[in-house]
Amino acid sequence: MDKASRVLAEGLPEGMPNTYAALAAHGDVPLSTLHHRARGRRSREAKAQSQQYLYPYEENALVEFLIHQSTLGRPVRMKHIPSLAFSATR
């Protein structure tokens, strides 16, 4: 959970006005970010993670394969990497 979501979940101490500005000041989070989280927008990290093509274990296998091929003296051309990634997902 990112900082803005945490601030929204925790809320404010007693006696403070219940506004986004007060929450932003109390949690040291930009007001626009706090407003976006309250409206359901994901953080950049969460969005990037959901759009990732390979799972981490597939990505590790692909990297190990590329390093192994390079060690053997047969580096893989860049244009072949997307087809290798597709093969790793099947």
- Residue-level pLDDT at 58: 92
**HSE-up (13 A, CA, CB side) for residue 89:** 10
* Tens-place pLDDT, residues 31-89: 999 999 999 999 998 998 888 888 889 999 999 999 999 999 999 999 999 999 998 88
- What does the alpha-carbon distance between residue 12 and residue 17 come to, in Å, rounded to a whole number? 8
Q: Which two tokens stand for residue 58?
A: 């597939």
Domain edges within the chain: 3-48, 52-89
- Residue-level pLDDT at 11: 86
Residue 16 has pLDDT above 90, yes or no: no
Within 10 A of 83 (CB to CB), how many other CB atoms are there? 9
pTM score of the predicted model: 0.59
- Residue-level pLDDT at 60: 94
- Residue-level pLDDT at 30: 93
Contacts of 81 (CB under 8 A, 6+ apart): 62, 66
Name the CA dihedral angle for 22, 25, 27, 28, rounded to a multiple of 10 degrees. 160
- Residue-level pLDDT at 39: 93
- Residue-level pLDDT at 49: 86
Query: Rg of the chain's alpha carbons, rounded to an integer?
Result: 22
